[in-house]
Chain A
Amino acid sequence: MVEIRKGWNREEMAQKIAGHIPNGAYVNLGIGLPELVANYIPHDREVIFHTENGLLGVGPSPVKENEDDELINAGKKPVTAIKGACFFHHADSFAMIRGGHIDICVLGAFQVSENGDLANWSTGEPGAIPAVGGAMDLVQGVKTIIIFTQHLTKNGEPKIVKHCSYPLTGKGVVSHIYTDYAVIDVKDTGLYVREMAPEIDFDYLKSCTEAELKQY
């Protein structure tokens, strides 16, 4: 348990991730926090959003009266389809994912380890009902996996750990971690801190990270 400081807010984190997404990228956004990223793509870039339930070209949320039960995203929320969008069935959708055709996926995390292992589908608690969805396919197939998460759990425990204690989603799959405290790149030689929030210094960041952190 460490003193909890205030870092970037969610919008600032989403904006940082959006800045990482290049023009022309095909991007899948995980359910929840990652969906915020779509709001911050710079206007001079054209980015196509994929949702695994069969739509390439996800547009903004509709106003209430235009909601359509049969036009939803993977989080089961109503969406719109942009001009130039297309629909397809689930096997084609996961061929896009597993076949390496999607450039970037932004996902949440329970834990990320020093070598880029990700745990984000199950806490492994007895009595919990396991549910995995498309996470394991996404981490294996998408070229770049970006994690969007708070640096600490609600109880102040580190989420960036030496080894994940929760069941893995995939081994060595994460490329970048964006938290409220820092932006961290996962490399073969370890975790490198690229940027820190204004209130955060390297010593403090190390004190709330179980994994070893390096500076460029």
Chain B
Amino acid sequence: MINKIAKTASEAVADIFDGATIMISGFGEAGSPIELIHALIDQGARNLTVVSNNTGNGHIGLAALIENKQVRKMICSFPRTANSVVFPELYRKGEIELELVPQGTLAERIRAGGAGIPAFFTPTSVNTPLAEGKEIRLFNGKPYVMEYGLKADFALVKCKIADRYGNLLFNKTARNFGPIMCMAAKSAIVQAAEIVELGGIDPEIVITPGIFVKKVVEITNPVSENQLISENRRYPW
């Protein structure tokens, strides 16, 4: 029997090792798998490379993981959002590395990584500092820059509904990077607000096919990142 269901968040993240590359879903305060990240803080893997659009908010979730000195390098498009306080401080002190990637290039690098495409050419960032040192090629007379596909050892993703095969449905704009990160990671670990029986998700509307998912864990009432930030909460609690 195939059963990808983990009983707890800590069981789901138990295999994450020191030095791993981890993709973490979310855009701003929407779609970040806070409970899985907190389980990773408890688990303690260090020297991580994290791929995520932002660098976390306040002192919880990804920001808390960074604050706990578990992250060596961030690959992201927008590291300084309004509520990002931890990353900027460490970055200025030279204690964390940053690879800045335009948002669409980040998404396409992740998609390509998951689809077995090692590199591709994009018009984005041509003639800007972010294309410096990269291969440029002309197609139909127009310049394009070569970018590499991105893969990861693990993905931590939040969704709304899953089944034991790992089929997933997402919620509104919390979908963002989740589906492509599941594709690009050797081991995608997903927290779902609800796990339903097989057949409980109409096959016509599955967003992420279960083949891309390794583990699912039910977190029935995920915390609201916004609320925790407004209460100035910190993790560990």
Chain A residues in the interface with B (C-beta under 8 A): 51-55, 68-73, 76, 81, 87-91, 93-94, 97-98, 122, 127, 129-137, 140-141, 167-171
Contact = CB atoms under 8 A, between A and B. Distances in A.
Contacts of A72: 27-30, 173
A87 B79 contact: no
| Most B-side CB within 10 Å, residue of A127, A140, A169 | A140
Given A69-B30, A69-B226, A76-B28, A131 B77 contact: yes
A87 B80 contact: no
A130 B178 CA distance: 24
A90 B108 CA distance: 8
Interface of B: 27-31, 53, 77-82, 87-88, 91-92, 98, 100-108, 110-111, 122-130, 170-180, 207, 224-226
Contacts of A90: 27, 53, 103, 106-107, 110, 176-177, 180
| Most A-side CB within 10 Å, residue of B30, B124, B125, B127 | B124
Nearest to B183: A91
Contacts of B178: 89
18 contacts: A55-B172, A69-B29, A70-B171, A71-B172, A72-B29, A72-B30, A89-B179, A90-B53, A90-B110, A94-B108, A98-B124, A132-B102, A132-B103, A133-B103, A136-B105, A140-B122, A167-B129, A168-B128
Contacts of A68: 172
A132 B197 CA distance: 42
Given A54-B175, A167-B128, A130 B100 contact: yes
Contact of B102 (A55, A89, A127, A137): A137
Contact of A94 (B31, B104, B173): B104
A87 B173 contact: yes
A130 B74 CA distance: 13
B99 to A, nearest CB: 11
A93 B107 CA distance: 9
Name A's interface SS.
Answer: loop
Contacts of B81: 76
Contact of A53 (B123, B170, B173, B224): B173
Nearest to A128: B80
| Most B-side CB within 10 Å, residue of A90, A97, A133, A134 | A90
Nearest to B112: A91
Contacts of A54: 27, 173, 175-176
A98 B121 CA distance: 12
A70 B173 contact: yes
B104 A134 contact: yes
A167 B130 CA distance: 9
A72 B82 CA distance: 15
Nearest to B87: A129
Contact of B180 (A55, A87, A89): A89
A117 to B, nearest CB: 8
A168 B127 contact: yes
Contacts of A127: 92
A97 B173 contact: no
B222 to A, nearest CB: 10
B172 A134 contact: no
A127 B87 CA distance: 13
A55 B130 CA distance: 27
B224 A134 contact: no
Contacts of B171: 70
B173 A51 contact: yes
Given A69-B225, A71-B172, A171-B126, 14 more contacts: A52-B103, A72-B27, A72-B30, A87-B172, A89-B175, A90-B53, A129-B87, A131-B77, A133-B103, A134-B77, A136-B102, A140-B123, A167-B129, A168-B127
Contacts of B126: 140, 170-171
- Lowest 7 CB-CB distances: which A-B pairs, in order? A137-B104, A94-B104, A76-B28, A70-B174, A90-B107, A91-B111, A171-B127
A131 B106 CA distance: 13
Nearest to B102: A136
A133 B80 CA distance: 10
